[in-house]
Structure 1
Amino acid sequence: MFVPLGPYVNGTAVAIGGLAGAFVGTKLPERLRTSLPQTFGLASMGLGISMIIKLQHLPAVILALIVGAIIGELIHLERSIGRVGTKAKGLIERIFPAREGLSPEEFIEKFVAVLVLFCASGTGIFGAMNEGMTGSPDILYVKSILDFFTSGIFATALGYAVASVCLPQVAIQILLMFCATWIMPMTDPGMIADFSAVGGLIMLATGFRIAGVKPFPVANMLPGLLLAMPFSHLWTTLF
């Protein structure tokens, strides 16, 4: 029986990191809060590059990423994810009051960013689907290490609310994983490699965003993951 280890490890890392960061609070030196995200971003970039080099059909991969980004922009996917977090404002403020020094608006804005980062990141979605198709939780294990420290950094400012993000994160990853398990029999090694490459490009963009180099609209690129394998199959069939 297939046991989804990756999502549970990832969710546990976010919960523990969030609790630890909230407990430490502002005691963490400012220089660490500034420099660590850059290191996390670099790690995400390296992981993305390691996945990109596996590609089999470059035109199909690029086309899937471009068309997926266009779809994401047209339907305002990242903005919609942000609205979901905003609608949870009342519940969040009742259970997890904002830290002193943060206005309610600042708290919600930052919390929505955290929600998008942990629940809708290219790394998490790709990692969950990759485990469903290959049985390997390695991507989510690496993400868990990054998320442990990242959630801790955010929690120093936002408090214990950050730890609650593990609940929707685990639910989304398990759903994606079992959907990928159903898709697996219809794929071939080339399709999986191209799917991995699209995920790697999104992870590379995620790294730039985490490091503060370039705020790529990562969530809007996610439809490219759904197009990667169909485009790879069509490219193989037609050319």
Structure 2
Amino acid sequence: MIGPYINGAALLTGSVIGAILGPRLSHNFKAHMPMTFGCAALGLGVAMIVKVQLLAPVVLALVLGSVFGELVELERAIQKLASRSKKVIEKFTTPAEGISQDEFLDKFVALAVLFCVSGTGIYGAMSEGMSGDPTLLIVKSILDFFTAIIFASSLGLTVGVLVLPQFVVQSVLFFSASLVMPLITPEMLADFSACGGMIMLATGLRISGIKQFPVVNMLPALILAMPLSWLWSTYLP
């Protein structure tokens, strides 16, 4: 297992560099660059959505997953964790300036989705688990490195905390890939990609400041996407 370690190191290093450079960067730079990464997330989401094979189960998974996420308030739990992490880290570092608590939480939640459950990370970890090739995760590491620098320049070193859930998610996918992949059809994988693309689209809109989608509450849809795709193709051809 190489990719998750490289990706985690890139995220943590980028966060440290961004936190150090933050006071030296202009306000306009820190305000405009996140919109560029939001645009990139939008493009990634569209590229993932067009792979859809069965749209109905994908939409159903998104709706049912979001309902569950709202009922258990997943996003609020992540926000509480982010707020606590920020307080602990700011005891040892200089607090981020020029950003409100609400703005911090909004961006942190969107980054959690972008770093931890993006399509590239999921497929990259599963691909390495099956073939031993970490190429996709290395590519993601390069993107995450620069993304972390930009956002840590305004959010501070707290961005580096995301290395923990990112590593856990990728490690679980890596070790379970050999068990799960033989059961997955190309159609199921395509519909899973499309569901992830819809969430990534919402993430891009949130990072860009266009619309504050509850992206964390939408994440349970990823668990439902492939089972519903299989059921739909099997019993409702």
How high is the TM-score relative to the length of structure 1? 0.82
Aligned residues: 232
Task: Report whether the alignment pairs 1:224 with 2:221.
Answer: yes
Q: CA deviation at 1:139?
A: 6.2
Q: Distance in 1 between matches of 2:103 and 2:210?
A: 18
Q: CA deviation at 1:81?
A: 1.6
Q: CA deviation at 1:181?
A: 4.2
Partner letter of residue 95 of structure 1?
Answer: F
Task: Report whether the alignment pairs 1:60 with 2:57.
Answer: yes
The one-character-per-residue Cα deviations of 1:140-193 (angstroms, maximum 9, x if unpaired) are: 556544433332233223443433432343233322443444321211111111
Partner letter of residue 190 of structure 1?
Answer: E
Partner letter of residue 93 of structure 2?
Answer: F
| Corresponding residue for residue 151 of structure 1 | 148
Q: Distance in 2 between matches of 1:235 and 1:206?
A: 27
Task: Report whether the alignment pairs 1:130 with 2:123.
Answer: yes
Give the stretch that moved more between structures: 187-196 or 86-95.
86-95
Task: Report whether the alignment pairs 1:16 with 2:9.
Answer: no
Partner letter of residue 179 of structure 2?
Answer: W
Partner letter of residue 163 of structure 1?
Answer: G
The one-character-per-residue Cα deviations of 1:47-68 (angstroms, maximum 9, x if unpaired) are: 1111111111111111111111
Counterparts of 1:17-56 in structure 2, within 5 Å, are 17-56=14-53
Counterparts of 1:1-239 in structure 2, within 5 Å, are 3-5=1-3, 7-88=4-85, 91-99=88-96, 101=97, 112-113=105-106, 115-121=108-114, 124-135=117-128, 140=137, 143-239=140-236
Partner letter of residue 233 of structure 1?
Answer: W
Cα separation, partners in 2 of 1:141 and 1:211, compared to 1, 3 Å: farther
Q: Distance in 2 between matches of 1:158 and 1:41?
A: 16
Q: Distance in 2 between matches of 1:125 and 1:178?
A: 18
Q: CA deviation at 1:93?
A: 3.8
Cα separation, partners in 2 of 1:95 and 1:30, compared to 1, 3 Å: closer
Whether the aligned pair in 2 keeps the contact of 1:122 and 1:218 (CA below 8 Å) is: no
Q: Distance in 1 between matches of 2:222 and 2:135?
A: 18
Q: Distance in 1 between matches of 2:134 and 2:111?
A: 17
Partner letter of residue 74 of structure 2?
Answer: L
The one-character-per-residue Cα deviations of 1:7-39 (angstroms, maximum 9, x if unpaired) are: 333322222222222222222122211211111
Q: Distance in 2 between matches of 1:8 and 1:33?
A: 28
Cα separation, partners in 2 of 1:183 and 1:117, compared to 1, 3 Å: same
